[in-house]
Amino acid sequence: MAASDKLKKLVDKMPDADGANDKGKKRRRSKGTLTGPSWAEAAPVFDEILKGGSDSIVGLVSMLAPTDEGKDIKARYTLHAVLTYACTPGKDKQRACVAGAIASQLAGQSKDNQAFLMRELQLCADAKTATELGKFLCTKDLSTAAAYALTAIGKDALPQLRAALPKAKGSCRLDVVQALSVMSDAQSVEGLKKAAGDPDREVRLAAICGLANIADAGAVDVMIKASDAKDAWERIQAGDACLELAEKLTAAGKKTEANKIYTHLKQTRNTVGESHVGDIAAKALAAK
């Protein structure tokens, strides 16, 4: 949907980039930045745009150039500002409207604009927009923005992340594993245990961090195996994750599983540079 003339006039009320029309004048700010209006000045404009509902938001999206080179700075600024304004207290309906409208326009946009719109959705996305975002979890160069927005939504976005885990490859898989790990999704334990053996080191590390966060006793053997990595950095990170898991299992009363981790670390961390981990494990065992 193309922007209406009314919407274009509202957008045009936003200022140009600083220095855009001041040839020969001393610039106080670097070219390309923008000093926006005060909320008192901008609020009436944003209210008028929001009155147009989803049509106004779709119209703003249609004003975006395929690449962000500064030519559409007013449209980008207005979209972001209206979204931010709709996220203020008392505007739940407007926020949902903006989120839904932006999500509806993701398909068919350039990758630059898809990433931009998903970054905007981090501020306002909800359960209703999670499905649209989930479609991009296996798309290279877009999975990061999609995963961030879904993480911001929270537990309502977990179905999309869980569904993507077995399908995602490469950097997309890393993004999905990291999101599930940060969200400590207990239902993803089996998938994360599998990811702990992934060929990609970063995926493995994200997975074991997630297993430590979730503190599932069934992950002990996987974590112990991960702690024996040959790569020095991975070994350090896996050892720390094992300590975290053991501490959480101890606090949950699962001392047998915790002791299994501590015993392994005590036996394997006794060389220079690692002995402190062995000492921590030994003290934990002695305290039981």
In a domain, 201, yes or no: yes
Give the pair of three-digit tokens for residue 170: 């490469």
In sequence order, the 6+-apart residues with CB closer than 8 A to the CB of 10 are 45, 48, 49, 78
Predicted confidence (pLDDT) per residue in 45-72, tens digit: 999 999 999 999 999 999 999 998 888 9
Let me know if 217 is exposed, middle or buried by CB neighbors in 10 A (0-12, 13-18, 19+). Answer: middle
Q: Is the pLDDT of residue 18 over 80?
A: no
Quote the CA–CA distance of 113 and 69 in Å, as a whole number.
12
Q: Kindly state whether residues 10 and 108 are assigned to the same domain.
A: yes
Domain with 268 in it: what CATH number? Answer: 1.25.10.10
In a domain, 271, yes or no: yes
Per-residue pLDDT band at 259 (split at 50, 70, 90): very high
DSSP track, 197-215 = T-SSHHHHHHHHHHHHHHT
In a domain, 203, yes or no: yes
Q: Give the C-alpha distances (Å, rounded to integers) separating 223 from 69, 204, 259, 277.
A: 46, 10, 13, 15
In a domain, 87, yes or no: yes
On average, the pLDDT of the chain sits at 92
Domain residues for the domain of 284 are 184-288
| pLDDT value of residue 29 | 40
Q: Kindly state whether residues 203 and 281 are assigned to the same domain.
A: yes
Let me know if 125 is exposed, middle or buried by CB neighbors in 10 A (0-12, 13-18, 19+). Answer: buried
Q: Give the C-alpha distances (Å, rounded to integers) separating 149 from 104, 126, 132, 173.
A: 15, 9, 11, 16
- Number of structural domains found in the chain: 2
Q: Kindly state whether residues 189 and 118 are assigned to the same domain.
A: no
Q: pTM of this prediction? A: 0.89
Long-range contacts of 161-166 (CB under 8 A, 24+ apart): 161/134, 161/137, 161/185, 161/188, 162/187, 162/188, 162/191, 163/134, 164/134, 164/137, 164/138, 165/191, 165/195, 166/191
In a domain, 140, yes or no: no
Predicted confidence (pLDDT) per residue in 197-213, tens digit: 999 999 999 999 999 99
Q: Kindly state whether residues 99 and 194 are assigned to the same domain.
A: no
Q: Kindly state whether residues 191 and 271 are assigned to the same domain.
A: yes
23 vs 214: which has the higher pLDDT: 214
Lowest average pLDDT, out of 13-22, 104-113, 224-233, 258-267, goes to 13-22
| pLDDT value of residue 268 | 96
| pLDDT value of residue 32 | 53
In a domain, 216, yes or no: yes
| pLDDT value of residue 30 | 44
Q: Kindly state whether residues 118 and 1 are assigned to the same domain.
A: yes
**Closest C-alpha among 153, 147, 162, 97 to residue 127:** 153
Q: What percent of the chain shows pLDDT beyond 90?
A: 85
Q: Kindly state whether residues 4 and 117 are assigned to the same domain.
A: yes
In a domain, 57, yes or no: yes
| pLDDT value of residue 17 | 73
Q: Kindly state whether residues 120 and 188 are assigned to the same domain.
A: no
Q: Kindly state whether residues 8 and 120 are assigned to the same domain.
A: yes
Query: Measured in Å, how far apart are the chain's first and last C-alpha atoms?
Result: 67
Which of 85, 100, 124 is the C-terminal boundary of a domain? Answer: 124
Q: What percent of the chain shows pLDDT beyond 70?
A: 94
In a domain, 148, yes or no: no
* Segments of the chain assigned E as strands: none
| pLDDT value of residue 69 | 86
